[in-house]
Structure 1
Amino acid sequence: MESIKEFYANQSIFITGGTGFIGKVLIEKLLRSCPKLDKIYVLIKGKRGKTPEERIQAITSTALFEKLKKQYPNAIKDKLKLVLGDATELNLGLSEEDQNLLIENVSIIFHGAASVRFDDPLKHAVLLNTRGTREVLNLALKMKKLKVFLHISTTYCNVDKPEVNEQLYPPHADWKKTIEIVENVDEHVLAVLTAKYIDVLPNTYTFTKSLAEHCVYDMCEGKIPACVCRPSIVISSRWDPVPGWIDNFNGPVGLLPKLKPDYVSVDTAVRALLLAAWNKATNKAEEEKYDVSFYNCSNNGLYTMSMEELIEFGKQIFWEAPLSNILWYPGGGVTGCKYWNYIRVIFLHLLPAVIVDNILKLLSIKPLLVKIQRRIYIANLAIRHFIMYQWSFPNYKCLTLEEKLMPEEAEEFGYDRHNVDVYDYFRNCIIYGRRYLLKEDDSNIDKAKKNLYRMYILDRIVRALFILFLIWFFVYKLEIFSYLGEKMQSIYDYIFE
């Protein structure tokens, strides 16, 4: 079996979803660790007033690509090419010239274009996640040099089962008929029928990703080497190319204390994609090569924390690298009682948001906190199913991919799963999230710590005053002790007289 670097050398790779979180890391890893590849073609939507060069600059102008630029300064300019299109359109919205370019040159496909919104209308989710997959495969089947097609799915596309193994499960609907329905039925009618149509699955995302897996199986089985990789919840990088890199604020906002979600770092997920494609394409056994393989790119309890542990740990780390412009001292906790949660949301989220927004209005500043709280509430509803239950995602087949690596490539392409310090990893997630997401300079940490301490003192003073107010209200305003005293005296008189 040829090494992984030998396999990717001189190959032209087509990537959909290249502007997404996983897609960016995949592009960087390919350009840096497989420098002898020929070209990477990235499907990207056209943007008025932006040249392809400006779009590439926008994609690669983050800390993620700094290491690549130092090692191979010309790699992005020479090897990364954009093709204008849209995964929701027929033929991917590609021009005839670009279609021919891809058909003649591409040998490896990573298909990751997808809507990851849980509240997407059924029509849009099907057109992108399911029909988009069909359109990529229609193109793939015409490619003259194609060695492997890899579809990026999700471990959560079969959440009606407590344990999701590395296999294809029976479909919840016919993917061909579903595409036909959304192409011809009015959106308002679809909105009414959605809950019934997606059956036991919680949202359109999981439903359409499940259909996409069946699309891959039906169109690839026995025809082209193909595999489906299912990452679980993809979060910040561990260390490759930089620790803690992330480009989005996605995450759970309502939690159960003992729940242990299945997280996987984005660099680990990308390594699994590269290994899966390499293994499938270089498999010499003909009877296996054209069978569609399924891999769960999951943590499966290897290194994780419960939600309760993660929140308490986050509070500790916040003292190491606090944010500069906080409105209040950060706190919070986990509860299994939804009614107590509602009370806390009203008094600790909504009420302060209303007060601050009214102050902003008085200062002629656009209010924003109530709007943010509304978005958080809607997001909480969308992911409620995923934060209330525990799933198991066995990943034996995915782990065994690493064992096939050459010893000299293990460090660069292996998972390094035995050397994970979970506390150090989540510390980096928080500290580097401050840097990459909020663009805060590390030089102002000392100033931020002083501000955090002031907020802590203010928080404690306000809490103490609130408790004193409650005591005053119940004791003096309602005269509750006098009332209880009278009742006790009445009971005493009744018993002893």
Structure 2
Amino acid sequence: MTELDNKKENFDKILIKDFFASSVIFITGVTGFLGKTLLEKLLRSCPTIPLIYILIRAKKGVTLNERYKNLIENPVFDRVRCECPSSFKNIIPLEGDISAPQLGLSKQHCAMLIKKVNVIFHVAATVRFDEPLKIAINLNTRGTQELIRLACKMINLTSFVHVSTAYSNADKTEINEIIYKTAVKPEIVMDMCENLNDEMLEIIEQLFLKKHPNTYTLSKRMAENIIMQNEINLPIAIVRPSIICAAYQEPFPGWIDNISGITGIMLEISRGTIRSIICNDKFIVDVVPVDFVVDTLITAAWHTAMQHNKNIKVYNCVSSTINPITWKNFGELTRKYAIKLPTVYAMWYPGFTFRTNRFIHNVVSIIFHFLPAFIADLILNLRGKRSIMVKIMRRTERSANTGEFFAINEWRFQGENMRRLINAVETTDGESKNFNVDITTLNWDLYVKRCILGIRQYILNDDLDTLTKARNRMSKYVKNLN
């Protein structure tokens, strides 16, 4: 009887913490926003995990140890350093590349993972919407294939959790918790990306995309199809989060470390630099806090092991199904707290309009976005300072353009598997307090407030002791408007 067989006999009685206390973990994508937040939660909530192997890609001029040191010095781990600093000793960084054969791992490291790993969290991906097809496929699709091949050799694997996206099937309006087949097999697309030149791939990219908004969602759907082909061999769960934003509670309310997507738009709203956004404000915005996603990943790994079978479970990790909020309401809350909790870096009074008329939007954008930015840069130049405002506006415009598809469309996500997961966690002894996967517990007003505070603290490095100064400046903007 193998070690895995011994575990299976008592799986039904194992709590989440106890399950991870006897599990060796392998995580990809640990340097990204979601990956590092997942690592933090595992270290803090399950400090007795025997080993956590993390895959880190080498960078030119930066060693593996240097990248690892930079990772664990991130503020996201402040609570771990305070509450359970000894848990860091359980981490073993491994140099590799998710898109390389055998993940770029040495034969020795591959053999070690094959022998020891019980749980895989596959988080690594390029989340850029404007990646060329070749890069997106290599990282998101081929990378998944390489990890699947390695996982198939693991003799004690109990769970493989793959992070996809709720929009991997964005060409559909109603999305069930199933894997939808692609019109073209992933192997054919990967072969084309490997053998065709960039000019040919640009032509093919448009043919493949069709109703997909970008190469990210397409490559993620291809990755799901790679997983479906290996359904018989592995205990896999696919978690599909929608738009991942700042933390609701953990590790800190409002924790965020990037300005991509909605976070970047909220940042510029709080600074008063964005006045018009292409969006149908009657539609539902599907946002999930990063800590809900992390808890879903952790509990999905546990739940997959408990079920004693290798049927793929797909979890649509979304808010719209059971706790929806419209773009209009989300926007109103953002403006409300941008005014109540202003930043000293605000350029003007926060105010914007959601609109679907592109011509009017373009006119407003020129007059109220780029013209003021150009004038501000002229003033900065005259003062001998670096001009940055036009650059910021271009970045914001790009971010808004890449996210526009999700602001003018709406989807209906089925969530029966998520409901079962919520019930499974709630029926354990007190585990729902440590691992919250029930999005109905989220208060949108409080969440948006924490998002604005998180942007202020973690992105702008603007502590609350500047609040009085910021409010005084905001009152001057109001007088100017009057």
From 59, 63, 85, the counterpart of 1:73: 85
Matched, 1:275 2:299: yes
5+ residue gaps, structure 2, are 1-11, 266-276
From 221, 224, 233, the counterpart of 2:234: 224
1:128 aligned partner: 139
1:302 aligned partner: 322
1:298 touches 1:394 (CA, 8 Å); kept in 2?
A: no
Amino acid aligned to 1:453: S
1:233 aligned partner: 243
Give matches, 1:1-400, under 5 Å.
Answer: 1=12, 2-76=14-88, 78-219=89-230, 221-252=231-262, 253=265, 254=277, 255-284=279-308, 289-400=309-420
1:350 touches 1:370 (CA, 8 Å); kept in 2?
A: yes
- SS across alignment from 1:155: coil
Amino acid aligned to 1:384: E
1:243 touches 1:432 (CA, 8 Å); kept in 2?
A: yes
**CA distance in structure 2 between the partners assigned to 1:182 and 1:51 by the alignment:** 29
Give how far 1:30 is off. Answer: 0.9
**CA distance in structure 2 between the partners assigned to 1:191 and 1:434 by the alignment:** 40
**CA distance in structure 2 between the partners assigned to 1:306 and 1:181 by the alignment:** 41
Question: What percent of counterpart residues are identical?
Answer: 34
**TM-score relative to the length of structure 2:** 0.90
2:380 touches 2:386 (CA, 8 Å); kept in 1?
A: yes
1:304 touches 1:422 (CA, 8 Å); kept in 2?
A: no
- SS across alignment from 2:424: coil
**Structure 1 residues 204, 385: closer, same or farther in 2, change over 3 A?**
same
- SS across alignment from 2:53: strand
2:435 aligned partner: 413
Q: Deviations over 1:259-300 (max 9, x none)?
A: 21111111111111111111111213xxxx112211111112
2:470 aligned partner: 448
Give how far 1:416 is off. Answer: 4.4
**Structure 1 residues 115, 353: closer, same or farther in 2, change over 3 A?**
same
2:445 aligned partner: 423
**CA distance in structure 2 between the partners assigned to 1:448 and 1:361 by the alignment:** 25
**CA distance in structure 2 between the partners assigned to 1:161 and 1:125 by the alignment:** 21
Amino acid aligned to 2:236: A
1:235 touches 1:264 (CA, 8 Å); kept in 2?
A: yes
Amino acid aligned to 1:391: W
2:261 touches 2:400 (CA, 8 Å); kept in 1?
A: no
1:472 aligned partner: none
Amino acid aligned to 2:235: P
1:263 touches 1:304 (CA, 8 Å); kept in 2?
A: no
Amino acid aligned to 1:38: P
Q: Deviations over 1:325-372 (max 9, x none)?
A: 222222212223222211110110011112222233333433222222
Amino acid aligned to 2:470: A
**CA distance in structure 1 between the partners assigned to 2:222 and 2:312 by the alignment:** 15
Give how far 1:313 is off. Answer: 1.9
Q: Deviations over 1:124-182 (max 9, x none)?
A: 00000000000111111122221121110011010111111101112132101111110
1:311 touches 1:333 (CA, 8 Å); kept in 2?
A: no
**CA distance in structure 1 between the partners assigned to 2:307 and 2:104 by the alignment:** 33
2:15 touches 2:429 (CA, 8 Å); kept in 1?
A: no
**CA distance in structure 2 between the partners assigned to 1:166 and 1:445 by the alignment:** 45
Give how far 1:316 is off. Answer: 1.9
**CA distance in structure 1 between the partners assigned to 2:466 and 2:393 by the alignment:** 28
Give how far 1:57 is off. Answer: 3.2
**CA distance in structure 1 between the partners assigned to 2:58 and 2:439 by the alignment:** 39
Amino acid aligned to 2:100: E
1:468 aligned partner: none
Give how far 1:230 is off. Answer: 0.5
2:319 touches 2:439 (CA, 8 Å); kept in 1?
A: no
Number of aligned residues: 454
**CA distance in structure 2 between the partners assigned to 1:100 and 1:14 by the alignment:** 13
2:159 touches 2:304 (CA, 8 Å); kept in 1?
A: yes
Give how far 1:257 is off. Answer: 1.7
1:295 touches 1:395 (CA, 8 Å); kept in 2?
A: yes
**CA distance in structure 2 between the partners assigned to 1:418 and 1:187 by the alignment:** 46
2:270 aligned partner: none
**CA distance in structure 1 between the partners assigned to 2:333 and 2:116 by the alignment:** 49
Give how far 1:112 is off. Answer: 1.1
Amino acid aligned to 1:266: V
**CA distance in structure 2 between the partners assigned to 1:50 and 1:98 by the alignment:** 21
Amino acid aligned to 1:262: D
**CA distance in structure 2 between the partners assigned to 1:297 and 1:361 by the alignment:** 47
Q: Deviations over 1:429-466 (max 9, x none)?
A: 111221111111111111111122223323x16xxxxx
Amino acid aligned to 2:108: E
**Structure 1 residues 371, 452: closer, same or farther in 2, change over 3 A?**
same
Give how far 1:54 is off. Answer: 3.5
Give how far 1:6 is off. Answer: 1.7
**CA distance in structure 2 between the partners assigned to 1:228 and 1:419 by the alignment:** 23
- From the CA coordinates, give the structure whose radius of gyration is larger: 1
1:164 touches 1:391 (CA, 8 Å); kept in 2?
A: yes
**CA distance in structure 2 between the partners assigned to 1:85 and 1:3 by the alignment:** 32
1:478 aligned partner: none
From 438, 454, 457, the counterpart of 1:435: 457
Q: Deviations over 1:292-312 (max 9, x none)?
A: 211111112433432222222
1:487 aligned partner: none
**CA distance in structure 1 between the partners assigned to 2:171 and 2:409 by the alignment:** 11
1:300 touches 1:395 (CA, 8 Å); kept in 2?
A: no
- SS across alignment from 1:74: helix
